Amino acid sequence: MTRTGLTLGFYGGIAVLGEIYQILFMPETKDKTLEEIDLVFSRPTREIVAENIANTKQALRDFFSGRWRKVFVEQAPRRKSIYEGEDKTV
């Protein structure tokens, strides 16, 4: 194998490991306020990993069952923010 091939393989391996880390250890923060994100990251890592594994299993099940719209288009309904519904005038 050439030096270029080894370099490409090394960086490819790092990318794969990074993707696995991202899928398992990083919680979803889309459409959340900073306070909600703070609450998410205050949870134990074990809970976050368990939730991410369950969500990944469901997404893969939908993907391989041919439910493309559910995987790529439809999003989970947005949860109501803890601040929605409060009077924001001070």
Closest by CA position to 72, among listed 64, 81, 63, 80: 63
Per-residue pLDDT, 19:
94
Reported pTM: 0.65
Q: Which helix (H) or strand (E) holds 10?
A: helix 3-25
Q: Say how far apart CA 49 and CA 75 lie, in whole Å.
A: 20
Q: What is the DSSP letter of 27?
A: P
The answer to whether the Cα torsion of 46, 50, 55, 61 is positive or negative is positive
Closest by CA position to 36, among listed 87, 76, 78: 78
What pLDDT digit, counting tens, does each position of 28-82 carry? Answer: 888 888 999 999 899 999 999 999 999 899 989 989 998 888 877 776 665 665 5
